[in-house]
Amino acid sequence: MVRAARHYYVDDMSKMQTADALGVSRFKVARLLEGARELGIVTITVDDAGVPVPELADALAAHLGLSRAVVVEAHGAQAEVRHEVGAAAAALLGSTLRQGEVLGLAWGRTLTGMSHSMPPLPRVDVVQLTGALGTDLEASPVEVVRRVALRSGGSAQPIFAPLVLDDPRTADALRRQTDVAGALRMFDHLTTAVVAVGSWDPPNSQLLTALSQEDRQAMHEAGVRAEVAAILVSDTGEVVSPEFARRCISIGVDQLRRTPRIVAAAAGADKARAVTAIARAGLCTELVTDRALAEAVLSLDGVDPAVAERGTA
Amino acid sequence: MVRAARHYYVDDMSKMQTADALGVSRFKVARLLEGARELGIVTITVDDAGVPVPELADALAAHLGLSRAVVVEAHGAQAEVRHEVGAAAAALLGSTLRQGEVLGLAWGRTLTGMSHSMPPLPRVDVVQLTGALGTDLEASPVEVVRRVALRSGGSAQPIFAPLVLDDPRTADALRRQTDVAGALRMFDHLTTAVVAVGSWDPPNSQLLTALSQEDRQAMHEAGVRAEVAAILVSDTGEVVSPEFARRCISIGVDQLRRTPRIVAAAAGADKARAVTAIARAGLCTELVTDRALAEAVLSLDGVDPAVAERGTA
DNA sequence: TTCTGCTCTGCTCATATGAGCGACGCTGCG
DNA sequence: CGCAGCGTCGCTCATATGAGCAGAGCAGAA
């Protein structure tokens, strides 16, 4: 049975060839294969994770006024969804980045996933857009930059500094450090930026873990709904809490807005409002998401996602 | 593509039916399915783990003088091999146990695996053959007994006592405890016992972790090669170190030998000599193993396993 | 515009495949 | 010993399938 299954399914032989190879009748081969499937020796799985859904993507791009959107199928735990979205973002960069670009990378679990799935890239300069948060080396923005630069062969410009400081004074001092300043200067020359979308309401952002209870309370009252690269945005797309930005080592709103191409990656339906807010704020030109999030965004304002999608291949 | 793959592979429709269902030509269906396989949407795996190898089993039974042997394919890490062997032992019990039997269970990682794969059983009384070792509740003999009894609906006779004590006196005292004594009395009425084989040279037995350095040294010098239910056996099949048995809460050699049916489960080629020793000692009548161990046992004394096996289905 | 190359589609025809059937061999029973 | 019951095997024939081909649509170049 196992040998028959190997021949037929792995080596793609016909049942007649398999029969000849094993010295049995083709009928017996058919019965062996049938048995092998029943016994679980042969398992056939149809897994659409990572498959793009162009219809939803087009509808999403139109809805949010983006130049492009990528929507992929993803199921299972949040971590798996992030992994698929990250892989899709990696593939998008791989097929669109051109040699000589200056690529800015923010940070988040989705972008960590992206860095793990990154295909070989043309030679680009990679710049870290934000300081670090937390102590997990594997998930740090420095590591994301390192991995992506490794795939490209271009220069890497990391920022060895915390993302959030206790007061603006310390942040200013850090910004004047030679290495940090060098990275910040490159923010004006970015051709492509990649950011992760964090949601503040419902709360789903790693930035939240770094804030004091008072900070959170104040921001909540200020109407913060979403976050990219530590830039806080309200439901209407306005940037709030600029005094918070002064405490952050991160790209500024204006610098990010001036970047010609901003790819936002977001995973999970609970980020629907956050994604909408970011798009309204003009803080992304392209979006990579999973199906559930895309559908949630489209249905937020009464757009029926079923209309957008027809005849998934 | 995904829908075509679902229809064809999951629902077992023909390509023509699939074509009709999707409203496309059968040729397009063929091309979609081809693409789906190339893109990894459809994965076909041939996994022979757990498939029995009757030729080897017969050779092994003849070689060791057993009434029956079961040999299954198993690959990968030790834990996976143990899991497959455990599942095979569970299936064997499921198809051979009769109502009213008294089933004794020893303990080990393979038997823990067995207890997780146990099919529904006829009503039997389950008795724990040894005390407990270590503190992992999930892997304790009590848990094995509990799980198996649950599948059978019969009574469970656990032993809440350590397997190894520091001195014979304490062990004797424990054996006089009402609950313990009740279990020990049932050892004389066992109809089937299931034991795991531990190897002492090379060292691969959980019992080893419970012994002092002096104990090990003494036993090594006494020529201990194998162990079942804390019974220590030399290469020639003789039981050694009976004074150790006095410190153990466990079934005795004579009681075990009198049991009509003793199923031994063993996983991993490094237990070849141990298995041979146990069989020589008359401490098993049936054996459940993986292919690698079976081949190792057969080739120990120059028997070529390739001769035994011919034409695996 | 027209041409050219490219991809995608569905066709024909030879071949592979599955459903259903009768023959064979094995096992247990009278 | 003969026979019924059961499972397995390979056959026939209708049908499904794949290889290769030709036409349609489409994008880019002249």
Radius of gyration of chain A (CA): 24
Cα–Cα distances (Å) from A262 to A13, B146, B295, in that order, read: 48, 58, 60
Closest-approach nucleotide to residue B14, Cα vs C1'? D16
Nearest residue on chain B to A32, alpha-carbon basis: B313
pLDDT of amino acid A51? 86
Residues 12-41 of A with CB under 7 A from strand D: 24-25, 27-28, 31
Query: Average pLDDT of B127-138?
Result: 91
How many whole angstroms separate alpha carbon B158 and alpha carbon A12? 53
B54 preceded by a cis bond (ω within 30 of 0): no
State whether residue A1 sits within 8 Å of chain B by CB: yes
**Contact assessment for residue A129 and residue A100, using Cβ atoms and an 8 Å cutoff:** no
Per-residue pLDDT of chain A (313 residues; tens, 9 = 90+): 889 999 999 999 999 999 999 999 999 999 999 999 988 899 999 988 888 888 889 899 999 999 999 999 999 999 999 999 999 999 999 988 988 999 999 999 999 999 999 999 999 999 999 999 988 888 899 999 999 999 999 999 999 999 999 999 999 999 999 999 999 999 999 999 999 999 998 999 999 988 888 888 889 899 999 999 999 999 999 999 888 999 999 999 999 999 999 999 999 999 999 999 999 999 999 999 999 999 999 998 655 555 444 433 3
How many whole angstroms separate alpha carbon B280 and alpha carbon A234? 78
Nearest CB among B32, B41, B312 relative to A47 is that of B41
What's the pLDDT tens digit per position in B62-87? 999 999 999 999 999 999 999 999 99
Residue B203's DSSP bridge partners are B200
Q: Which residues contact A227 (CB under 8 A, 6 or more apart)?
A: A197, A198, A199, A200, A205, A207, A233, A274
CB pairs under 8 A between A and B: 64
**Contact assessment for residue A107 and residue A87, using Cβ atoms and an 8 Å cutoff:** no
pLDDT of amino acid A135? 82
Greater pLDDT, B117 or A54: B117
pLDDT of amino acid A48? 86
How many whole angstroms separate alpha carbon B237 and alpha carbon B253? 12
Residues of B in contact with A1 (CB under 8 A): 51, 313
pLDDT of amino acid B40? 87
Nearest CB among A42, A45, A73 relative to B46 is that of A42
Strands B203-204 and A125-128: unpaired
Radius of gyration of chain B (CA): 24
Task: Tell me what percent of the residues of chain B surpass a pLDDT of 70.
Answer: 96
Partner-chain contact A32 B2, CB within 8 Å: no
pLDDT of amino acid B310? 42
Partner-chain contact B2 A45, CB within 8 Å: no
Reported confidence tier of residue B290, pLDDT bands at 50, 70, 90: very high
The string of DSSP letters for B241-275 reads -HHHHHTB-B--HHHHHHSSEEEEEE-SGGGHHHH
Find and give the residue nearest to C11, measured CA to C1': B27
Nucleotides of C under 7 A from a protein CB: 9-12, 16-20
What's the pLDDT tens digit per position in B194-237? 999 999 988 999 898 888 888 888 898 999 999 999 999 999 99
Partner-chain contact A45 B46, CB within 8 Å: no
pLDDT of amino acid A310? 41
Nearest residue on chain B to A39, alpha-carbon basis: B51
A31 touches strand C (CB under 7 A): no
How many whole angstroms separate alpha carbon B70 and alpha carbon B72? 7
Q: Provide the sign of the torsion angle of the four alpha carbons A135, A140, A142, A146, taken in this order.
A: positive
Q: Which residues contact B71 (CB under 8 A, 6 or more apart)?
A: B52, B53, B54, B56, B57, B60, B289, B290, B291, B294
B67 touches strand D (CB under 7 A): no
Main-chain phi, psi angles of B201, to 5 degrees: -155, 100
**Contact assessment for residue B241 and residue B197, using Cβ atoms and an 8 Å cutoff:** no
- pTM greater than 0.85 (yes/no): no
